[in-house]
């Protein structure tokens, strides 16, 4: 059953984030059908249209470190799911991403520098992570991993939404 589980996990993660962003083919260099001279030309990067959000230096560094830890937590959650360690995945999610993690991240200190939309995306991510933690624990009782995968995709979608709209300065 591990193989179908991994396929379901990959599909859920891809589908969950797909609606939160649009793929811009202009962001990638296409070399198909071009001459060698054309292949070496570099196209200008598309303009970054994200809203800049200014933090005091120490809070900026703290916030960026938190975001890197969020990414690491997502990787550790996926690893735990692949090993069918649902309680471990739930613990990681709740402690590092969920509503229980807000004090650890100093959310109150940084929220006042965030535009409303960024605050809302962050709160939605933390709530989604807590919902994932509950759903991951339920897998042991129900045997159905799909609600947990959907909740994890919803959590990741909030990350994508925020990073697509905002840039910490």
pLDDT tens track for 112-162: 999 999 999 999 999 999 999 999 999 999 999 999 999 999 999 999 999
Residue 37 placed within a domain: no
Q: How far apart are CA 71 and CA 123, in angstroms?
A: 16
pLDDT (0 to 100) of residue 69: 96
Residue 73 placed within a domain: yes
pTM for the model = 0.73
Residue 75 placed within a domain: yes
Residue 123 placed within a domain: yes
pLDDT (0 to 100) of residue 36: 53
Q: How far apart are CA 162 and CA 122, in angstroms?
A: 8
Q: Is the dihedral of CA 81, 65, 117, 28 positive or negative?
A: negative
17-68 pLDDT, tens per residue?
Answer: 444 444 444 444 444 555 555 555 678 888 999 999 999 999 999 999 999 9
Please report, for the domain that includes residue 149, its CATH number: 1.20.120
Residue 28 placed within a domain: no
Residue 33 placed within a domain: no
Q: Which domain holds residue 147?
A: 49-168
DSSP 34-92: --HHHHT--PPPPP--SEEE---HHHHHHHHHHHHHHHHHHHHHHHHHHTT-HHHHHHH
Residues 6+ apart with CB under 8 A from 165: 50, 51, 117, 118, 121
Residue 59 placed within a domain: yes
Calculate mean pLDDT across residues 64-82.
97
As for how many domains the chain has, the answer is 1
Residue 154 placed within a domain: yes
pLDDT (0 to 100) of residue 98: 95
């Amino acid at each position: 059953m591990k193989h179908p589980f991994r396929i379901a996990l990959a599909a859920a993660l891809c589908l969950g984030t797909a609606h939160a962003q649009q793929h811009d083919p202009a962001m990638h260099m296409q070399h198909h059908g071009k001459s060698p001279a054309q292949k070496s030309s570099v196209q200008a990067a598309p303009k970054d249209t994200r809203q800049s959000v200014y933090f005091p230096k120490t809070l900026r560094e703290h916030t960026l470190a938190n975001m890197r830890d969020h990414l690491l937590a997502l990787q550790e959650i996926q690893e735990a799911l692949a090993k069918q360690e649902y309680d471990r995945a739930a613990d990681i999610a709740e402690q590092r991403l969920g509503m229980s993690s807000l004090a650890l991240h100093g959310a109150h200190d940084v929220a006042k520098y965030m535009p409303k939309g960024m605050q809302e995306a962050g709160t939605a991510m933390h709530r989604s992570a807590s919902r994932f933690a509950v759903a991951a624990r339920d897998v042991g009782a129900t045997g159905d991993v799909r609600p947990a995968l959907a909740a994890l995709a919803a959590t990741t979608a909030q990350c994508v939404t925020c990073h697509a709209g905002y840039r910490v300065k």
